[in-house]
C-alpha cells in the first residue's frame, strides 16, 4: 500500500473517530437533559385554585375546600420514618395561601438546633427555571415557635441554600402565618402576596407557574434534631409546580390570637 493510500485510510479513521465522539457527546447530552427533565418539575402539580382562609393555625377542610390539595409521604433521605403531609394551595386576587398538616408526633416550639422548633421551609423557584437557590429567590418559613412566620430570600453565601429574612437584605416582611397542634397533627397556615413589589419576593400573575419545594425540619420533644424531610424530593431539582389562578377575590384578614393546643 502506498503512502497516499495510508493517508486516505488515516483520514477516514480520523473522520470515523470524530463522528463517534460527536455521537457520544450528543447521546450523553440527551441523557443528561432527560434526567434533569424527569427530576425537575415533577408531576406533583398544583392547579389554579381560588380561595382565602382564616389564618388561625387550624387547617379547616371547609375553608380550604376550594384549594388544590395533595396528600403524600415526605421524602426522608436520612432513613427516618417519613411523615405524611397534606398540602393545600389556593390564591385570592392578591395573596397566595398555603395550608399544611403533618403527622409529626409532637409540636415542638423550641429546639437546640432549631430555635423555632418544628419548621416548614418553602423554597420557591421564582422564574420556574428548574433550579432552586438562585440568589434572591423567595423563601418562606412557618414554624411552631415564635415568630411563626418569616419572609426570607436566598442569600447564597456561605452555601448555596443559605437564606435570611428579607428585612436583613433591604426588603420588607410580607405575609403572615400561624401554626398549632390540632388533634394528632401539626397544622401550618400562611399567606404571602402574589406580587408585593419587594425585589426579594416573587411577582406572580394569573396563569403564571412557579416552582417550589417543601422541607420539614423536625425538632423532637427534648429539643434534639429529628430529621429533615422533603416534598417532592430532597434534590435541588426536586421541584413541584404551582399554577396561579385568575381569582378576583379581595382578602379580608382576621388575625386570631395564637392559642397553643
Q: How far is the CB of 198 from Ca ion (least distance, A)?
A: 4
- Which CB atom, from 58 or from 143, has the smaller least distance to Ca ion? 58
* Binds Ca ion by CB under 5 A, chosen from 138, 141, 215, 241: 138
* Binding residues for Ca ion, total number by CB under 5 A: 18
Which three-class secondary structure state does DSSP give residue 20? helix
Is-contact 51 64, C-beta < 8 A?
A: yes
Is-contact 138 124, C-beta < 8 A?
A: yes
Q: How far is the CB of 259 from Ca ion (least distance, A)?
A: 12
- Which CB atom, from 163 or from 237, has the smaller least distance to Ca ion? 163
Does 58 contact Ca ion by CB under 5 A?
A: yes
Does 125 contact Ca ion by CB under 5 A?
A: no
Is-contact 39 75, C-beta < 8 A?
A: no
Does 109 contact Ca ion by CB under 5 A?
A: no
Does 54 contact Ca ion by CB under 5 A?
A: yes
Q: How far is the CB of 200 from Ca ion (least distance, A)?
A: 4
Does 108 contact Ca ion by CB under 5 A?
A: yes
Which three-class secondary structure state does DSSP give residue 38? helix
How many Å separate Cα 238 from the centre of its chain? Answer: 9
- Which CB atom, from 39 or from 160, has the smaller least distance to Ca ion? 160
Strands (E), the chain: 45-46, 68-73, 84-91, 95-102, 119-125, 138-143, 149-154, 163-165, 176-182, 185-193, 209-219, 225-231, 240-243
Show contacts with Ca ion in window 188-217 (CB under 5 A).
198, 200-201
DSSP 96-117: EEEEEEE--S---S--SS-TT-
Show contacts with Ca ion in window 219-248 (CB under 5 A).
none
Which residues bind to Ca ion, rule: CB under 5 A? 53-54, 56, 58, 104, 106, 108, 118, 138, 151, 153, 166, 171, 174, 198, 200-201, 218
Amino acid at each position: 500500500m502506498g503512502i497516499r493510500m495510508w493517508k486516505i485510510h488515516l483520514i477516514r479513521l480520523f473522520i470515523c473517530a470524530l463522528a463517534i465522539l460527536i455521537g457520544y457527546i450528543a447521546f450523553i447530552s440527551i441523557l443528561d437533559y432527560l434526567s434533569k427533565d424527569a427530576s425537575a418539575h415533577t408531576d406533583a402539580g398544583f392547579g389554579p385554585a381560588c380561595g382565602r382562609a382564616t389564618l388561625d393555625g387550624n387547617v379547616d377542610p371547609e375553608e380550604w375546600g376550594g384549594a388544590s390539595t395533595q396528600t403524600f409521604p415526605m421524602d426522608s433521605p436520612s432513613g427516618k420514618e417519613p411523615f405524611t403531609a397534606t398540602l393545600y394551595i389556593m390564591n385570592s386576587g392578591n395573596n397566595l395561601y398555603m395550608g399544611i398538616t403533618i403527622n409529626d408526633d409532637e409540636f415542638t416550639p423550641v429546639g437546640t438546633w432549631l430555635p423555632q422548633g418544628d419548621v416548614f421551609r418553602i423554597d420557591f423557584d421564582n422564574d420556574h427555571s428548574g433550579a432552586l437557590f438562585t440568589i434572591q429567590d423567595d423563601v418562606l418559613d412557618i414554624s411552631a415557635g415564635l415568630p411563626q412566620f418569616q419572609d426570607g430570600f436566598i442569600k447564597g453565601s456561605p452555601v448555596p441554600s443559605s437564606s435570611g429574612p428579607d428585612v436583613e437584605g433591604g426588603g420588607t416582611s410580607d405575609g403572615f402565618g400561624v401554626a398549632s397542634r390540632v388533634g394528632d397533627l401539626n397544622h401550618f397556615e400562611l399567606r404571602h402576596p402574589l406580587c408585593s413589589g419587594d425585589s426579594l419576593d416573587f411577582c406572580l400573575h394569573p396563569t403564571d407557574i412557579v416552582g417550589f419545594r417543601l422541607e420539614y425540619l423536625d425538632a423532637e420533644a427534648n429539643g434534639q434534631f429529628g430529621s429533615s424531610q422533603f416534598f417532592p424530593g430532597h434534590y435541588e431539582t426536586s421541584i413541584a409546580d404551582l399554577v396561579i389562578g385568575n381569582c378576583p377575590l379581595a382578602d379580608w384578614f382576621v388575625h386570631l390570637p395564637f392559642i397553643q393546643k
